[in-house]
Chain A
Amino acid sequence: GESVGLHLPTLSVQEGDNSIINCAYSNSASDYFIWYKQESGKGPQFIIDIRSNMDKRQGQRVTVLLNKTVKHLSLQIAATQPGDSAVYFCAENIISFNKFYFGSGTKLNVKP
């Protein structure tokens, strides 16, 4: 079955530093890989996605990298801010199945 997981359960960074959150996946058939941010007591919020035929995509302060050779996904956050403190989930989607599978999350702590 599909498996999406994260290497580090907790990541602490200093405000202003760059953050890198990693994720491993096992299903080569996934069409999209997505990052979500979840703040305490709230539902997950979409950050950025990347299609399987791409290896890099940039957003505002965020970059997602996809390495299909080793089935690895990463989220880079530039100039991390206190408001970035949250749990980050990677997810994958197979369009024909239309289901999104989520990993177990990495908690990002931003120290002032």
Chain B
Amino acid sequence: DTGVSQDPRHKITKRGQNVTFRCDPISEHNRLYWYRQTLGQGPEFLTYFQNEAQLEKSRLLSDRFSAERPKGSFSTLEIQRTEQGDSAMYLCASSLLRETGELFFGEGSRLTVL
């Protein structure tokens, strides 16, 4: 399978713990995005990378959230001191560096904070 891969698919944690999600984009894709989705809502933009550079972060991304994309390949999204409001699906998407409307999404990592 050469699509976008996310790990873990499900994570249950206690409030105050740190969690990390990993995304492996399609190999030739330069751009990588993180979105958050809650039940019944559309994905909300969090941040995106072009190669290894993080070009933009949403104001939704508090200082408890950090994302990296070392060497422009896989990316990690870490949430420190999790809160119940962090419970959501975290989606990763990738795309080529060209003008297009198409993002390729992974299956998502569902976070439940107890």
Residue numbers of A with Cβ under 8 A of B are: 4, 31-34, 36, 41-46, 49-51, 89, 91, 93, 95, 97-105
Instruction: Check B102 against A95 for contact (C-beta < 8 Å).
Output: no
Question: How many angstroms between the C-alpha atoms of A1 and B7 in the bound complex?
Answer: 32
Total residues of chain B contacting the partner, CB 8 A: 26
Q: Which of B20-49 contact A (CB under 8 A)?
A: 31, 33, 35, 40-45, 48
Q: How far is the CB of B44 from chain A (nearest CB, A)?
A: 7
Q: Which residue of B lies closest to A44 (CB)?
A: B105
Q: How far is the CB of A74 from chain B (nearest CB, A)?
A: 16
Contact with A along B76-103 (1 / 0, CB 8 A): 0000000000000001010000011111
Contact of B42 among A93, A95, A103 (CB under 8 A): A103
Report Cα–Cα, A100/B104, bound state, in Å. 12
A45-B105, A91-B101, A99-B48 given. 9 additional CB < 8 A pairs? Answer: A4-B42, A44-B105, A49-B101, A93-B101, A98-B56, A99-B56, A100-B45, A104-B40, A105-B42
Contact, CB under 8 Å: A89 / B42:
yes
Contact residues in B for A93 (Cβ distance below 8 Å): 101
Which residues from B are CB-within-8-Å of A43? 4, 91, 93, 105-108
Closest 10 interchain pairs by CB? A49-B101, A102-B42, A43-B105, A32-B101, A34-B101, A46-B102, A89-B42, A102-B43, A44-B105, A43-B107
Cβ proximity bits B56-85 to A, threshold 8 Å, 1 near / 0 not: 100000000000000000000000000000
Collect the chain A residues with CB atoms within 8 Å of residue B44's CB: 102
Contact B101 A101 (CB under 8 A): no
Residue in B33, B43, B45, B107 whose beta carbon sits within 8 Å of that of A42 in the complex: B107
Contacts of B31 in A (CB 8 A): 98
